[in-house]
Amino acid sequence: MPQATKTMREKWGGDQGVGPDKAMAYLETCGWTLNEHGLWKLPSDRQTAEIGDDEFEALQFLIDEWDYDFIPR
């Protein structure tokens, strides 16, 4: 069930404010990849501690609203 806040939907919601496309596109430009299980993977040359605020928010939106997850390092 969708759980993202209104603020997160306004910032990261793509198609009509709820689609995952805007957050996904942002993560992809930062080098993240999505595997077949719905897990986002941080680029191999970075550590979890290096995740920027916008990256974290995009991930949080996808987790809260779309049940994606990420692979921590």
| Residue 2: band (very low, low, confident or very high) from pLDDT cuts 50, 70, 90 | confident
Which of residues 23 and 2 earns the better pLDDT score? 23
Predicted structure pTM score:
0.90
Q: pLDDT at residue 1 above 80? A: no
Q: pLDDT tens digit string along 19-49? A: 999 999 999 999 999 999 999 999 989 988 8
Beta-carbon neighbour count of residue 30 at 10 Å? 15
How many Å apart are CA 40 and CA 32, to the nearest integer?
6
**pLDDT class of 8 with cuts at 50, 70, 90:** very high
State phi, psi for 69 to the nearest 5 degrees.
-150, 175
Q: What local confidence, expressed as pLDDT, does residue 10 receive?
A: 92
Alpha carbon 20 to its chain's center: 8
